Structure 1
Amino acid sequence: MPDRRYRRLERGGSLEPMIVLAPADRRTAPGPVAGLVVAVLLGLGATAAGAAVPVIGAPVFAVLTGVALSPLLRRRAALWHPGLDFAKGRVLQFSVVLLGAQLSLGEAVSVGVDSLPVMLGTLAVCLALAAVLGRRLGIGRDLSTLIGVGTGICGASAIAAVTPTIRARSTDVAYAISTIFLCNIAAVLLFPPLGHALGLGQEAFGLFAGTAVNDTSSVVAAASTYGPTAAQHAVVVKLVRTLMIIPIVLALAATVRHRDGAAPAEARPARWRAAVALVPWFLVGFVLVAALNSAGLIPAAAHPPAHRAALVCIAVALAAIGLSTDVAGLRRAGPRPLLLGVMLWVAVSATSLGLQALTL
């Protein structure tokens, strides 16, 4: 309890109460950087572990380590949460901006025109099934959305972009990341022998891996096993697929805006201001950075550091999400979200192969 003391006013003899924090209260006062420091340390450790075991990747190490340590932070949540919230918000959004440095808009257009039917088809099937199967399985809307965009677009990066837009809970993010991870492992192990059994060429397998594997590191791992041409094609397809984040996030932002209800007429901003507010700043930054890279204003030597910085930021943010996770909530969720993730992954894989057979 606070220590209540009194001081005498300069004029008059009355006493004025004054609240003084006791030592215990000072120790539990919120700190703006304490949680951020912990998230950064875990993120750096996860990045190192992901470099050593790229099949798993830094995002999975980060979120799982955070979840494992989260019970230790819940006793003094007020001390940690300001920094963790910053990591889950600004750091997460900044990582999306950095991903634009890996994309050339000219190359994206060239590859994207050829692979667009497959990419759009797999994405449409995935998002539609996520909504339908999520309701059938009794899974919350936000968790179904996260698993859907993670499976249909680009794993942890898509989840990172969507999380602040729909204001998803840490528990849902952690479960979605874990589900995507398990599907990635299965894809790395099963896709190369499946491609050989189906007689897929290098570029065909690259398109298959680029559209049906979720995380970039897993795309590289699966396609590199198949061959160097497959790996190169898969990475370009994967980067083009990343662009799908933009319309999906805009659509989700509009949905959330409609769901939350419009402001009263006297408080509504002008139409152009409302339109600008609908566009998340980090997606604008993503496109601008990609445009700068396409114009040759970002030197090739800066690409690897930018990519590593993006991975570190994602790892830091996901570590913060893991540290904020309610482990008991994960247990209550049960196996149904995992079942949804597996079903979506199988559907996307089958759709990718089927559309290739029909259109290429």
Structure 2
Amino acid sequence: MSTTTIAALGTRSRTLMPGIIVSAMVAASATFLSEHYGAPVLLLALLLGMSINFLAVDGVCKPGIEFTAREVLRIGVALLGLRITFAQIAELGWHPVLMVVLLVSVTILVSIVAARAMGFNQLFGLLTGGATAICGASAALALAAALPSHPQKEKATLFTVIGVSALSTLAMILYPMLARAFDLDPLQAGIFLGGTIHDVAQVVGAGYSMSQETGDSATVVKLMRVAMLLPVIVCAAMVARASGAEPGAKRPPLLPWFAVGFLLLAALNSTGWVPSLVQNAGNELSRWCLVIAIAALGMKTQLKELATVGIKPILLMVGETAFLAALVLAMLHWGG
């Protein structure tokens, strides 16, 4: 490596470091509050970041905040592959796998159609539908990273993260009661909870609050939904390329590098060669990357911008969540 290259890297690091450090500090604060008060850590990171958004407007922190919101996010998404193995999916048989594929596909398609009917861009429907159908805030961030640049993309991403985090927390409380009301057995209850609640942590909390069997099946079904992240990212990239980028913007790649990383890590994790220590470290690193990235995204927006979204996007996300729950219950009733 030449002296010029080393000097350039040093200059680049000094430019980015202030923004990266402040994003990490916000993430650490959000983690502390989440551990002590039980609120979703991504939502807390987002709100804390938004409270100091002036740092991203101008000054020494801006380049690092931009870098963190983009590249650190993609690293976190790639590391999500360490959460799943192909054996976990095979253990439940083909019926739940087929059910997950159908519910994710149908929910996203219905979301795109509903978004267009309500006057939104179809990519907004893909973003909210993917977040609802797959894995909440993590899916929203992953899909946003795959979509082309757009003046409203960051605002739409932040709204989606807020919406799925709030709805997932509400579902963690209400859905176990709904499972009991419909007299679902432990396996069915696990499939219902794992197939409907947005975020992994809330699925685990709701499932094990009912029983060990329900918690186990809910977690595996949820991880199957996480596994759908890769094909949906590829589809999102294809839709984005077909839609065309903004004038002067670079077209997104057909298969983003973080999607390839996700698949490779999932395949490696499936071999059983990855020690549990490395697996846990990768999951923890992924969590930190996503929390730091969402803190940076929060710093890049303003509260007054989110206040202008109106009632229609809220109705869209509530409708998507209700549709997903109804679809899973219908599949359990007629397919079980």
**Superposition TM-score tier, normalisation by shorter sequence:** 0.7 to 0.9
C-alpha change, 1:253 and 1:309, in structure 2 (3 Å) is same
The one-letter code matched in structure 2 to 1:209 is: L
The one-letter code matched in structure 2 to 1:83 is: G
Q: In 2, Cα distance between the equivalents of 1:212 and 1:182?
A: 14
What's the CA shift for 1:277?
Answer: 4.4
Aligned to 2:284: 308
Where 2:120 maps in the other structure, the secondary structure is coil
Matched ranges for 1:1-360 at <5 A: 31-54=15-38, 56-70=39-53, 72-73=54-55, 76-111=57-92, 113-166=94-147, 167=149, 169-260=153-244, 277-360=253-336
Q: In 2, Cα distance between the equivalents of 1:171 and 1:186?
A: 23
What's the CA shift for 1:214?
Answer: 0.3
- Structure 1 portions without partners, runs of 5+: 1-29, 262-273
Q: In 2, Cα distance between the equivalents of 1:53 and 1:356?
A: 35
Q: In 1, Cα distance between the equivalents of 2:270 and 2:113?
A: 39
- Structure 2 portions without partners, runs of 5+: 1-13, 246-250
Which of these two proteins has the greater Rg computed from alpha carbons? 1
Q: In 2, Cα distance between the equivalents of 1:174 and 1:310?
A: 19
- RMSD over aligned CA atoms reads 2.1
What's the CA shift for 1:258?
Answer: 2.0
Where 1:32 maps in the other structure, the secondary structure is helix
Ranges of 4+ aligned residues in structure 1 off by more than 6 Å: none
C-alpha change, 1:112 and 1:130, in structure 2 (3 Å) is farther
The one-letter code matched in structure 1 to 2:210 is: Y
Contact (CA 8 Å) 2:128, 2:317: kept in 1 or not? yes
What whole-Å deviation, never above 9, does each CA across 1:123-152 have from its counterpart, x for those lacking one? Answer: 233212211221232334443322111101
Where 2:136 maps in the other structure, the secondary structure is helix
How many residues of Structure 1 are paired with residues of Structure 2 in the alignment? Answer: 315
The one-letter code matched in structure 2 to 1:207 is: I
Where 1:77 maps in the other structure, the secondary structure is coil
C-alpha change, 1:178 and 1:112, in structure 2 (3 Å) is farther
Q: In 2, Cα distance between the equivalents of 1:127 and 1:211?
A: 14
Q: In 1, Cα distance between the equivalents of 2:218 and 2:117?
A: 33
Q: In 1, Cα distance between the equivalents of 2:253 and 2:141?
A: 19
Contact (CA 8 Å) 1:121, 1:351: kept in 2 or not? no
What's the CA shift for 1:112?
Answer: 5.9
Contact (CA 8 Å) 2:89, 2:97: kept in 1 or not? no
Contact (CA 8 Å) 1:49, 1:57: kept in 2 or not? no
What whole-Å deviation, never above 9, does each CA across 1:1-43 have from its counterpart, x for those lacking one? Answer: xxxxxxxxxxxxxxxxxxxxxxxxxxxxx93222211111111
Q: TM-score, normalised by structure 1?
A: 0.82
Identity of aligned residues (%): 27
Contact (CA 8 Å) 1:154, 1:215: kept in 2 or not? yes
Contact (CA 8 Å) 1:179, 1:337: kept in 2 or not? no
Q: In 2, Cα distance between the equivalents of 1:106 and 1:196?
A: 29
Where 1:278 maps in the other structure, the secondary structure is coil
What's the CA shift for 1:94?
Answer: 0.9
The one-letter code matched in structure 1 to 2:52 is: L
Contact (CA 8 Å) 1:118, 1:356: kept in 2 or not? no
Contact (CA 8 Å) 1:170, 1:322: kept in 2 or not? no
What's the CA shift for 1:305?
Answer: 2.3
What's the CA shift for 1:288?
Answer: 1.3
Q: TM-score, normalised by structure 2?
A: 0.88
